[in-house]
Amino acid sequence: AQTVRLAVLPGDGIGPEVVAEGLKVLDVVAADLGLAVERTEYDLGARRWHATGETLPDSALEEIRGHDAILLGAVGDPGVPSGVLERGLLLRLRFELDQYVNLRPSRLLPGVASPLAEPGDIDLVVVREGTEGPYTGNGGALRVGTPHEVATEVSVNTAFGVERVVRDAFARAQARPRRKLTLLHKHNVLAYAGHLWRRTVEAVGAEHPDVAVDYAHVDAAMIYLVTDPARFDVVVTDNLFGDIVTDLAAAVTGGIGLAASGNVDPTRRSPSMFEPVHGSAPDIAGTGRADPTATVLSVAMLLEHLGHPDAAERVVRAVGDDLAARAGAGPRTTSETGDAIAAALA
Amino acid sequence: AQTVRLAVLPGDGIGPEVVAEGLKVLDVVAADLGLAVERTEYDLGARRWHATGETLPDSALEEIRGHDAILLGAVGDPGVPSGVLERGLLLRLRFELDQYVNLRPSRLLPGVASPLAEPGDIDLVVVREGTEGPYTGNGGALRVGTPHEVATEVSVNTAFGVERVVRDAFARAQARPRRKLTLLHKHNVLAYAGHLWRRTVEAVGAEHPDVAVDYAHVDAAMIYLVTDPARFDVVVTDNLFGDIVTDLAAAVTGGIGLAASGNVDPTRRSPSMFEPVHGSAPDIAGTGRADPTATVLSVAMLLEHLGHPDAAERVVRAVGDDLAARAGAGPRTTSETGDAIAAALA
Ligand SMILES: CC(C)[C@H](C(=O)O)[C@@H](O)C(=O)O
Ligand SMILES: CC(C)[C@H](C(=O)O)[C@@H](O)C(=O)O
């Protein structure tokens, strides 16, 4: 039997609540597959920071590095200054573990009400670069607090970093039925970075004659995502544009409560990390109102990454059935939803 | 009688077609107001570039500088390399004329079908910074075309530049019925720039106790704009976030065919420039299918800027009536729409 060493970071707010349901579903599927899941839980996030001032101690990072995968709930609470946990924990994990493919699928599942009047058949995946761009923290500030302050943020893009994520996106496009890849950027203004991305997509595209390639400026993509989201199949883009566009893609496919993600190191040198796109939602923590569906779908991505695509697809189908069953019914608690999906899979 | 020296830059594609209708409406209103509009037309854009290699000759810039305002159609065609006209003409005008307030209102007008199932009562204005941020062209590239290429883009934010646009946004919020201002940024990741923006909004906000201030991360704003756009009143943000979010705001209020904008120098040292947000749409140029509404609404913004808010409001109302009349009717040509609005105002 395969043994999977899973690092679990429940985090703050609704994080532990949704992670519990994700693990419930994982347990059912693992039993079925004969997978032994060895979990280690890490207490990281706002609670830890308030108690000790630590975000991600080096020792915890090194331990986490020894796992096969990571499941993260959500971190943060309003008492932690902006950026502390983002830079010190979440982005540190993505960068240190070289999770350069931030994978964010958006499908309009059965039974889900889109806020769009005519959503069409949405099934896209954004391959967001995860280790470069404006997220590198390469900025600075001068004369802070004076009328002469200058604050800069530097987007760093390397041929190495762009090529590897573009290759990953093409491989995914090649494996999907529609075989379409859209580069999303703003090369008419961000010319240096834009030209690197364009040239890379052209060069890698030449090796994939089967994949139809197009381009959209990030601003125009906003319009397409509300008027014709079905036009997108695989979208490849930088770290910041990917952050923005995936929230919109989530919004038009039923909301952030359903949006799953994987921070993937395709080389498998480091563990990949799966997490719902939503935050820790302190306002509803403890009320049982959190929807664990995004975490369950993140577990499906984890299963796929571990080499179990059929099991992953079964989870997605169970979620789809559950969403259809839920439509029009009264509100459910977090654990009722987890129970329903787990029962359907048992 | 007031004389207005107007520089007209019809541009390319549908630009001249929509500008003709905008001027038609302006003529009617000007006659009514006793305004003498002296127009000078400038042949700038893709056609000029193809013919002469020029984007914005210094002499043309200096002439334009001598005007009271600018009306721009749209520039560009697929034959011009990306960035040439953007950097050399459009952004050069915005930067050289120090148009630091890029004003982009979005209202859901009567008769307009939003792509949202439940749009609510949308009436927001984005105050987009126009002369800084990632738009400064302060990037570079090293070892271009090699596997060791590094391409950077630098977002430059100054206390001077941020404060003046934040002040403008607060003044606008103060003058609107809801008195609400939302800062849109991503300060949890772009910490240097983000903190400058935050501190500035706090400081200027302290001088405006009547204005309710809140904050949204740019990614979260994507969700709000499709699920609850009515929550926004005045939104202040940087050049790039403003570019992105205004296309989404346009999309949810009937599309880019209705989106007007003003590139404003509130000090009035330089002429302000009014333009539809849409592009030159070469695919429909010459077919009579271009909707001139965004240009007519840009003319309304021009009238307001010139000190004629009542006339501006009359134009907006005429557009609203026309949109309501158009709803459900067959397609109209560009000039039929201009004629209808002009007739209603005559
Ligand atoms: C919390 C924040 C740092 C993060 C990001 O910007 O990547 C989040 O928005 C996300 O999309 O996972
Ligand atoms: C054409 C381009 C340079 C421009 C911008 O990015 O500002 C456009 O998208 C706009 O919004 O006016």
Which pLDDT does position A70 carry in this prediction?
98
Q: Is B224 a catalytic residue?
A: no
Q: Is A280 annotated as a binding residue?
A: yes
Q: Is B149 on the interface with A (CB under 8 A)?
A: yes
Q: Is A270 annotated as a binding residue?
A: no
- In chain A, the residue whose alpha carbon lies closest to the alpha carbon of B135 is A189
pLDDT band at B95 (very low <50, low <70, confident <90, very high): very high
Looking at the predicted structure, is the pLDDT value of residue A38 above 90?
yes
Taking the CA of residue A148 and the nearest CA in chain B, the distance in Å comes to 6
Residue nearest to atom 9 of ligand 2 (CA): B243
CB B140 within 8 A of CB B150: no
Which pLDDT does position B330 carry in this prediction?
87
Q: How many CB atoms lie within 10 A of CB B77?
A: 18
Looking at the predicted structure, is the pLDDT value of residue A1 above 80?
no
Q: Number of C-alpha atoms within 13 angstroms, CB side, residue A284?
A: 16
Span A105-115, average pLDDT:
92
pLDDT band at A110 (very low <50, low <70, confident <90, very high): confident
**pLDDT 10s digits, A181-215:** 999 999 999 999 999 999 999 999 999 999 999 99
- In chain B, the residue whose alpha carbon lies closest to the alpha carbon of A250 is B223
Q: How far apart are CA A18 and CA B343, in angstroms?
A: 60
Which pLDDT does position A329 carry in this prediction?
86
Task: Tell me the chain A residues in contact with residue B247 when contact means C-beta distances shorter than 8 Å.
Answer: 219-220, 222-223
In angstroms, what is the span from residue A159 Cα to ligand 2's centroid?
Answer: 26
Which pLDDT does position B193 carry in this prediction?
98
Q: How far apart are CA A17 and CA A7, in angstroms?
A: 16
* Residues lining ligand 1, Cβ inside 6 A: A 86, 90-91, 243, 277; B 188-189, 219
Task: Tell me the chain A residues in contact with residue B141 when contact means C-beta distances shorter than 8 Å.
Answer: 192, 195-196
Phi, psi of A290 (to 5 degrees): -65, 140
Span B268-284, average pLDDT:
97
Phi-psi region of B307 (alpha: psi -120 to 50; beta: other; left: phi over 0): left
Which pLDDT does position B110 carry in this prediction?
83
Q: How many CB atoms lie within 10 A of CB A292?
A: 28
- When the pLDDT of each residue in chain B is averaged and rounded to a whole number, the result is 97
- When the pLDDT of each residue in chain A is averaged and rounded to a whole number, the result is 97
CB A128 within 8 A of CB A104: yes
Span A56-85, average pLDDT:
98
In angstroms, what is the span from residue B243 Cα to ligand 2's centroid?
Answer: 6
pLDDT band at B117 (very low <50, low <70, confident <90, very high): very high
Q: Is A232 exposed, middle or buried (0-12, 13-18, 19+ CB in 10 A)?
A: buried
* Domains, chain B: 1-108+261-346 (3.40.718.10), 114-124+156-253 (3.40.50)
**pLDDT 10s digits, A257-313:** 999 999 999 999 999 999 999 999 999 999 999 999 999 999 999 999 999 999 999
pLDDT band at B173 (very low <50, low <70, confident <90, very high): very high
**pLDDT 10s digits, B21-80:** 999 999 999 999 999 999 999 999 999 999 999 999 999 999 999 999 999 999 999 999
pTM over 0.95: yes
Residue nearest to atom 9 of ligand 1 (CA): A243
Which pLDDT does position B328 carry in this prediction?
81
CB B24 within 8 A of CB B18: no
| C-alpha triplet B250, B73, B100: angle, nearest 5° | 65
Looking at the predicted structure, is the pLDDT value of residue B329 above 90?
no
- What's the Cα-to-Cα distance from B23 to each of A339, B18, B320, B341, rounded to whole Å? 64, 9, 18, 12
**pLDDT 10s digits, B197-255:** 999 999 999 999 999 999 999 999 999 999 999 999 999 999 999 999 999 999 999 99
Q: How far apart are CA A276 and CA A299, in angstroms?
A: 9
Q: How far apart are CA B274 and CA A58, in angstroms?
A: 54
**pLDDT 10s digits, A150-177:** 999 999 999 999 999 999 999 999 999 9
Q: How far apart are CA B248 and CA B222, in angstroms?
A: 8
Share of chain A above pLDDT 90, in %: 97
CB-CB: which of B160, B194, B247 is closest to A222?
Answer: B247
Span B244-267, average pLDDT:
97
Which pLDDT does position A330 carry in this prediction?
87
Instruction: Put the strands of the sheet holding A150-158 in their side by side order.
Output: A133-142, A150-158, B150-158, B139-142
Residue nearest to atom 12 of ligand 1 (CA): A277
pLDDT band at A72 (very low <50, low <70, confident <90, very high): very high
Span A235-257, average pLDDT:
97
Q: Is A202 on the interface with B (CB under 8 A)?
A: no
CB contact under 8 Å between A141 and B192, yes or no, is yes
Tokens at A171, concatenated: 């491989």
- What's the Cα-to-Cα distance from B301 to each of A233, B104, B186, B253, rounded to whole Å? 39, 10, 29, 17
Q: Which of ligand 2's atoms lies nearest the C-alpha of B94?
A: 7
- What's the Cα-to-Cα distance from A245 to each of A235, A238, B241, rounded to whole Å? 10, 10, 12
Amino acid identity for residue A213 in this structure: V
B153 alpha carbon, distance to own chain's centre:
23
Locate the DSSP E strands across chain B: 3-11, 36-41, 69-74, 101-107, 123-129, 139-142, 150-158, 180-185, 212-217, 234-237, 260-264, 272-276
Q: How far apart are CA B184 and CA B219, in angstroms?
A: 9
- What's the Cα-to-Cα distance from B212 to each of B49, B227, B245, rounded to whole Å? 47, 21, 21
Span B128-139, average pLDDT:
98
Give Cβ neighbours of residue B201 (< 8 Å, ≥ 6 apart).
B166, B181, B183, B213, B215, B236
